[in-house]
Amino acid sequence: MNTITAFRLALALAVGLIIGMERGWKSRKSPTGWRVAGVRSFASIGLFGGISALLGEKFGAGFLAVTFFGLALMVAVSYVMTVKDTQDFGITTELSLLITFVLGALAVSGFESEAVAGSVILAALLGYKRELHRILRKLDRRELIATLQLLIVAAVALPLLPNSNIGPWEALNPRTIGWLVLLIAGISYIGYFTMRIFGSRIGLLATAIVGGLVSSTAVTVAYGRMARKEKGNFALLGAGISLAAATMAVRLLIEVGVVNPALLPWLTAPVALLAIVPLIASVVIATRVEQNPSSAQLKLNNPVELGAAFGFAVVLSILFVLVRVAQSWFGNTGIYALSAISGIADVDAVSLSLAQATRGNLPLPIGATGILIAATVNTVVKALLASFIGGVFLARWCATILLGALGLSLITAFFIYS
């Protein structure tokens, strides 16, 4: 006996059992004679697919096609007869039977891991029916469009982008720019839905954390307005702004680490302090200050819009070129000036641009310093925004935390870079 063939046939049988357990459990209360297929049927069809693929190797691919269409005909007849009795027009089980046959054939054809993974995924999709339907009921059209747009960027637009350096100084790689846009959009997407699901129930601080994934500047402005309007909750609102800035620091490390992990030894300690200090201060504040019940919620726009993604790609492209121009014409000073100016509005774009440049001819210390300058300017801007919008009482709980964390960060960076 060929042990490899026997093993693959056993996998084909196991594929059917995995899917059949879910289908059998679902139909366990159905009257006798109304069950389209259960554990035994699915296991048999998985094995049938494996045997058909095995025989197809001897008699040709046409044999496998004939057996598949024969099974499809039998499933169609069974479906018609079942519908007459049950008036259930769903075709999920019938489609699962055909997929089980294909997965069984894959298992015998040398795609063992793919067949098992496919059976597990299919069983999970079938088993999570209620949860999936519940999510769809809660999803509004704007969020559905956001999901589809993210999939368009990831599965359609990105693979079509050329993976070559073009433009002035060969500074632009369309595939790289696409990956960076997808990275930012994905983080914003996760943050948006996290706050969409949990934001109104887990309080100001937790909302600030997930809001920071989308835009820490938006959190700063929104909480500053709350403080000015309500004349209260200064401590918690200030702590919330600090936590949003801390989330920005964590997000920055993740983005840079994905683009160029070699930068992390230069940035981890100083940037981590921008997250750790606000986190500790906020925990202390949260344990000592009572929250005034407020229904005010942070409102953030849908983060995954094709127009916004295109705009971010344009900004990244311009920054890629400017980084090369600044390096060629003005040396390190030009890089640092560009980082400071860009950090006023946004730290992500310039940081991603510098991280990508360090994969080329930009030295790691120069790129890391530029990213730290952008983070420094951005932190100072948040402290100023909170102070001007929310007033001196909010600044006491916010600006002091942010500037204290920034001071420790710069001292640490000085020792690392010296």
Question: Is there a contact between 105 and 47 (Cβ–Cβ < 8 Å)?
Answer: no
How sure is the predictor about 167, in pLDDT bands with cuts at 50, 70 and 90? Answer: low
C-alpha–C-alpha distance, residues 73 and 140, integer Å: 39
Whether pLDDT at 15 is above 70: yes
At residue 330, the pLDDT reads 63
C-alpha–C-alpha distance, residues 19 and 127, integer Å: 10
The amino acid at 108:
V
3-state per-residue secondary structure call for the chain? CCHHHHHHHHHHHHHHHHHHHHHHHHCCCCCCCCCCCCHHHHHHHHHHHHHHHHHHHHHCHHHHHHHHHHHHHHHHHHHHHHHHHHCCCCCHHHHHHHHHHHHHHHHHCCCHHHHHHHHHHHHHHHHCHHHHHHHHHHCCHHHHHHHHHHHHHHHHHHHHCCCCCECHHHCECHHHHHHHHHHHHHHHHHHHHHHHHHCCCCHHHHHHHHHHHHCHHHHHHHHHHHHHHHCCCHHHHHHHHHHHHHHHHHHHHHHHHHHCHHHHHHHHHHHHHHHHHHHHHHHHHHHHCCCCCCCCCCCCCCCCCHHHHHHHHHHHHHHHHHHHHHHHHHCHHHHHHHHHHHHCCCCHHHHHHHHHHCCCCCCHHHHHHHHHHHHHHHHHHHHHHHHHHHCHHHHHHHHHHHHHHHHHHHHHHHHHHC
C-alpha–C-alpha distance, residues 387 and 17, integer Å: 63
Of 61 and 31, the structure prediction assigns the larger pLDDT to 61
- The number of CA neighbours under 13 Å toward the Cβ of 53 is 23
pTM of the model: 0.54
At residue 319, the pLDDT reads 62
C-alpha–C-alpha distance, residues 396 and 5, integer Å: 72
At residue 169, the pLDDT reads 58
User: What's the sign of the alpha-carbon dihedral 94, 96, 98, 104?
Assistant: negative
pLDDT tens, 215-264? 677 677 767 777 776 666 677 778 888 888 888 888 888 888 888 888 88
For residue 191, which of 135, 247, 237 has the smallest C-alpha distance? 247
C-alpha–C-alpha distance, residues 376 and 180, integer Å: 22
pLDDT tens, 260-295? 888 888 888 898 898 888 888 887 877 776 555 444
Question: What proportion of the chain, given as a percentage, has pLDDT over 70?
Answer: 69
C-alpha–C-alpha distance, residues 97 and 72, integer Å: 9
At residue 250, the pLDDT reads 87
Question: Is there a contact between 282 and 239 (Cβ–Cβ < 8 Å)?
Answer: yes
The amino acid at 29:
K
At residue 168, the pLDDT reads 65
